[in-house]
Structure 1
Amino acid sequence: MSAATLSDTAYEKMRDDITSGRIPGETVLSERALTETLGVSRTPLRVALSRLEKEGMIDRLNNGVVLVRSVSVEQLLQILHLRRQLETAAARRAARNGQTAPLKASRDRMQALAEGTEVTFDAFWQDDGAFHRAVAEAAGLTILPAILDEQRGIARRSALTRANDSFVVQAAEHVAIADAITARDEEAAATLMADHFENVRARFLGSFTGT
C-alpha cells in the first residue's frame, strides 16, 4: 500500500473517530500510540495529522503530542445562528420553487420518525442531514449543501449535539417545514425553519444548564 493511501486511511479513520465523538475533545494522543493503533509509520501519519490540523480538528503540540480540539458552546451557538440565517432564506426560496422528489422522500421519512419509529442518534443524524440538504437543493442553492455539511461536521463533535434525543420533536418540525414548502407558502416555510433553529438552540442550552 502506498504512503498516500496509508495517509488517506489514517486521516479518514481519525476524522471519523473525532467527528463521531469516539475520540472526544481535549483528548491527548501521541504519535507513537497513533502509529500502533492505525498500523502506519510516522510519515503517512504526519501527513494525515497535517490535514486534520488544517481543518481545525486537532492541535499538534511539542514532542509529538496531539490534542483533539473541543467544540465550545459558543461555537455551537454561532453555527446555529449562521444556519438559521442561511436555511430560513433557503426554506423561503424552496417554497417559491415547490416540492422536489428528494424533499418528499425526506418528508416521508420524517413523518415516520415523528410517529415514533425508533432510531439511533447516528441514523437520525443522517436523516437530518438529508432533510436539510433536500431543502437547500429545492431552493436551487447548489453551494449550500457543502456549507451545511461542514458546519454539521463541527457541531457533531460537541457533546451537547450527541446528547440530543428529541428525535420525534425535530422530525415533526421537519414535516411542518416540508409541508409549507409543498404548499408554496413562503412565509410559513421561512417562519417554521427559523422556529426550528430557535427550538434546537433552546434544547442545547437546556442540556448545557441542566434545565
Structure 2
Amino acid sequence: MSGGTLSDTAYERLRDDIVAGRIAAETVLSERALTETLGLSRTPLRAALSRLESEGIVDRLSNGVVLVRSVTVEQLLQIVQLRQKLEAAAAARAAEHGAGAELLAIRARMQEIVDGAPVTFDQFWLEDGAFHRAIARAARLELLPAIIDEQRSVARRCSVTRTYDTFVDQAGEHVDIIDAVAAHDAQLASARMAGHFDHVRARFLGTFDAS
C-alpha cells in the first residue's frame, strides 16, 4: 500500500469521524495516539492532517497542537441562507421537468416517516441528503449536488444539528415540495423550498429558546 493511499485512507477516516461527531469539536488530535489508532506512520498521517487543515476542518496552532475546528451557529445560519437561495431556484427549475422515479420513491419514504415510521438521526440525515440531491438532479443542475454535500458536511459539525429526535415536520415539507414539482408548479415549488429552509432556521433557533 502506497503512502498516498495510506494518507487518503487516514484523511477519509478522520474526516468521516469529525463530520459524524465521533470526534467532537475542540478535540486535540494527538499524532502519537492517531498513529497507533490508525496503524500508520507519521508521514501519511501528517499529509492527512494537512489536507484537513487546508479544508478548514482542523487548525494547527502555533505550538503544533492540532485542534478540531468548531462550526458556530452563525456559520450554520449562513449555510441555511445560502442553500435557501440556491435550492429554491433549483426546485422551481425541477418543476419545469417534473418528478421522476427517484423523487417519487423519496416521496413514498418521506410519507412513511410522516405516518409514523421510526427513523434515527443518522438515517434521516442520509435520506434528507438524498432528497436535496434529487431535487438538484431533477433541475438538471450538475454541480449543485456536490455543493449541497459540502455545505451539509460543514453544517453537521455544528452540535445544534444533532438536537432533534423527530423528523415528521421535515419529512412532510419534503413531501409538499415533491408534490409541487410533480405538479409542474415552479412558483409553488420554489416557495415551499424557501419555506422549508425558513422552518429549518426556526428549528435551530428554537433549540436555544427551549434551553
- C-alpha separation in 1, matches of 2:111 and 2:8: 38
Q: Is the 8 A contact 1:19 1:157 kept in 2?
A: yes
Please name the residue that 1:193 is paired with: 193
So what's the TM-score if we normalise by structure 1? 0.96
Please name the residue that 1:70 is paired with: 70
**Pairing 1:27-42 to 2, within 5 Å after superposition:** 27-42=27-42
State which drifts further: 24-33 or 41-50.
24-33
**Secondary structure of the residue that 1:165 maps to in structure 2?**
coil
Q: Is the 8 A contact 1:30 1:64 kept in 2?
A: no
Please name the residue that 1:153 is paired with: 153
Please name the residue that 1:138 is paired with: 138
Please name the residue that 1:57 is paired with: 57
- C-alpha separation in 2, matches of 1:189 and 1:163: 28
Q: What does the per-residue CA deviation read over 1:40-75, in whole Å, with 9 as the maximum and x for residues that have no partner?
A: 111000010011111110001245421000000000
- C-alpha separation in 1, matches of 2:91 and 2:9: 37
Q: Is the 8 A contact 1:58 1:69 kept in 2?
A: yes
- C-alpha separation in 1, matches of 2:185 and 2:209: 36
- C-alpha separation in 2, matches of 1:76 and 1:166: 20
So what's the TM-score if we normalise by structure 2? 0.96
**Secondary structure of the residue that 1:181 maps to in structure 2?**
helix
**Secondary structure of the residue that 1:67 maps to in structure 2?**
strand
C-alpha displacement of 1:13? 1.0
- C-alpha separation in 1, matches of 2:197 and 2:93: 17
- C-alpha separation in 2, matches of 1:12 and 1:185: 40
- C-alpha separation in 1, matches of 2:79 and 2:141: 19
Give ranges in structure 2 of 5+ residues lacking alignment.
none
**Pairing 1:1-211 to 2, within 5 Å after superposition:** 1-210=1-210
**Secondary structure of the residue that 1:174 maps to in structure 2?**
helix
C-alpha displacement of 1:208? 2.8
Change beyond 3 A, Cα 1:38–1:62: farther
Cα RMSD after superposing both structures? 1.1
- C-alpha separation in 1, matches of 2:157 and 2:40: 25
Deviating 4+ runs (over 3 angstroms): none
Q: Is the 8 A contact 1:90 1:136 kept in 2?
A: yes
Q: What does the per-residue CA deviation read over 1:163-194, in whole Å, with 9 as the maximum and x for residues that have no partner?
A: 12331110000000000110111111111111
**Secondary structure of the residue that 2:129 maps to in structure 1?**
helix
- C-alpha separation in 2, matches of 1:22 and 1:16: 8
- C-alpha separation in 2, matches of 1:26 and 1:158: 11
Counterpart code for 1:91? A
Give ranges in structure 1 of 5+ residues lacking alignment.
none
- C-alpha separation in 1, matches of 2:209 and 2:9: 39
Counterpart code for 1:51? R
The alignment-based identity, stated in percent, is 66
Count the aligned residue pairs: 211
- C-alpha separation in 2, matches of 1:203 and 1:65: 35
Q: Is the 8 A contact 1:31 1:65 kept in 2?
A: no
